[in-house]
Amino acid sequence: MKIKSLIEKTPLKRLFKKDPIVAVIPLHGVIASGGGKLRGEQLNLIGLSQVINDAFETKGLVAVALSVNSPGGSPVQSALIATRIRQLADEKEIPVYAFAEDVMASGGYWLGLCADEIYADQNSIVGSIGVISAGFGFTGLMEKLGVDRRTYSAGENKAKLDPFSPEKESDIEWLKKIQVEIHENFKNYVKERRGERLKKRKDKELFSGDVWTGNKAVELGLIDGISDLRSFMREKYGKKVKMQLLEGRRSWIQKTLGLGSHSMVSNAVGSLFDKAKNESAWNKFGL
Confidence class for position 258, pLDDT limits 50, 70, 90: very low
Domain extents for the chain?
Answer: 18-128+210-283, 130-189
Q: In this structure, what is the dihedral angle of CA atoms 62, 216, 188, 111, given to the nearest 10 degrees?
A: -40
Confidence class for position 256, pLDDT limits 50, 70, 90: very low
Per-residue model confidence (pLDDT) at position 129: 83
Read off the pLDDT of each residue in 252-259 and give the average, rounded to a whole number.
44
What lies within 8 Å, CB to CB, of 91 at 6+ separation is 56
Q: What's the mean pLDDT when you consider all of the chain? A: 79
Of residues 230, 248, 247, the one with CA closest to residue 63: 230
- Kindly provide the b/e burial profile for residues 131-142, where b requires at least 16 CB atoms within 10 angstroms of the residue's own CB: beeeeeeeeeee
- DSSP states along 21-40: EEEEEEEESEE--SSSGGGS
**By the 8 A CB rule, do 20 and 237 touch?**
yes
Q: Model confidence over 120-145: pLDDT tens digits? A: 999 999 998 876 666 565 666 666 76
For residue 110, pLDDT beyond 90: yes
Q: Report strand pairing: 21-28 vs 125-127.
A: unpaired
Percentage above 70 pLDDT, the chain: 62
Q: In this structure, what is the dihedral angle of CA atoms 148, 152, 157, 163, given to the nearest 10 degrees?
A: -30
Range 15-19 contact pairs with CB under 8 angstroms and sequence separation of 24 or more: 18/60, 19/60, 19/240, 19/241, 19/242
Of residues 102, 150, 110, 148, the one with CA closest to residue 128: 110
For residue 216, pLDDT beyond 50: yes
What is the spatial distance between Cα 236 and Cα 176, in angstroms, rounded to a whole number? 45
For residue 269, pLDDT beyond 70: no
For residue 193, pLDDT beyond 90: yes
What is the spatial distance between Cα 108 and Cα 72, in angstroms, rounded to a whole number? 5
Q: Model confidence over 7-64: pLDDT tens digits? A: 455 555 444 568 999 999 999 999 998 754 433 468 999 999 999 999 999 999 999 9
Name which residue leads in pLDDT, 243 or 10: 243
**By the 8 A CB rule, do 248 and 50 touch?**
yes
Q: Report strand pairing: 211-213 vs 125-127.
A: antiparallel
Of residues 129, 119, 73, the one with CA closest to residue 98: 119
Q: Model confidence over 63-102: pLDDT tens digits? A: 999 999 999 999 999 999 999 999 999 999 999 999 999 9
Per-residue model confidence (pLDDT) at position 280: 61
Per-residue model confidence (pLDDT) at position 236: 96
Per-residue model confidence (pLDDT) at position 173: 75
Q: Does CATH number 3.90.226.10 belong to domain 18-128+210-283?
A: yes
What is the spatial distance between Cα 158 and Cα 156, in angstroms, rounded to a whole number? 6
Confidence class for position 119, pLDDT limits 50, 70, 90: very high
First to last CA, the chain: 64
Per-residue model confidence (pLDDT) at position 209: 82
